[in-house]
Amino acid sequence: MFELLLVALLVAILGMMAVPLVTSVAQQLRLRGAAWQVAGDLRLARQRAVTLRTRMRVCLASCAISVPSGTYSVEIDRGTPSSPNWASEAGTIVKLPRDVNISASATATFASTGMASGCTFTLTNAVGTFQIAVNPAGQVRVCRGSCS
C-alpha cells in the first residue's frame, strides 16, 4: 500500500512539472500557426489581386469593417485606383488565438500586377515573436523573431 502511494505521489509531482512545459509548447504552436495563417492570407490576397485584376489588402486598422484587436480583414477594392472602395471580401474578420497579438508597419496592399506596398506584420505572445515581411515585389516571408 505504501509503495502505491509513493508511486502516485511521484506521478503527481512529474505531472505538475510537465504542465508548464506543455503550456509553453502549446503557446509556441499557436503563435507559429497564427504566423503561417497570416502569411497564407497575404499570399492568397496577392494571388486574388492578380487573378481578379484588382487591388487586395490585408488590413488591421481603418478597414472597411470593424477590426478588433487580435483580428484582421482581407479586403478587395471595388472602386478605381483614383477612388478606392474597399470591402471585406469574406464579410467577416479573421480571428487569431486570443493569446496572440498582431501589429503591422502598414496595410499590405497588393496591386493587380502582384506588386505590393512593403510592410511587416509582427505577431507576439508570451513565448516569442514571428514577423511576416511583404516586400515590394509581393513576396511574403515568415521569420521567427525578426526578418531584418
Q: What is the pLDDT of residues 7-28, one digit of tens each?
A: 776 676 666 665 555 567 888 9
pLDDT band at 43 (very low <50, low <70, confident <90, very high): very high
The structural domains of the chain, with segments of one domain joined by +, span: 2-144
Chain mean pLDDT for the chain: 89
The H or E element that residue 54 is part of is: none
Handedness of CA 135, 138, 144, 145 (dihedral sign): positive
CA nearest to 111, candidates 51, 59, 60, 63: 51
Confidence of residue 81 (pLDDT cuts 50, 70, 90): confident
- Alpha-carbon span 81 to 98, nearest angstrom: 35
Q: Given a cut of 90, is residue 90 above it in pLDDT?
A: no
> What size, in residues, is the chain?
148
* pLDDT mean over 135-146: 95
The SS3 assignment for 45 reads helix
Spell out the residues 6+ positions from residue 58 whose beta carbon is closer than 8 angstroms to its own: 38, 41, 42, 45, 72, 73, 74, 75, 107, 108, 121
2-144: CATH architecture:
3-Layer(bab) Sandwich (3.55)
Rounded to the nearest angstrom, the gap between the alpha carbon of residue 33 and the centroid of all alpha carbons in its chain is 8
Q: Rounded to two decimals, what is the model's pTM?
A: 0.84
Q: Which helix (H) or strand (E) holds 39?
A: helix 2-52
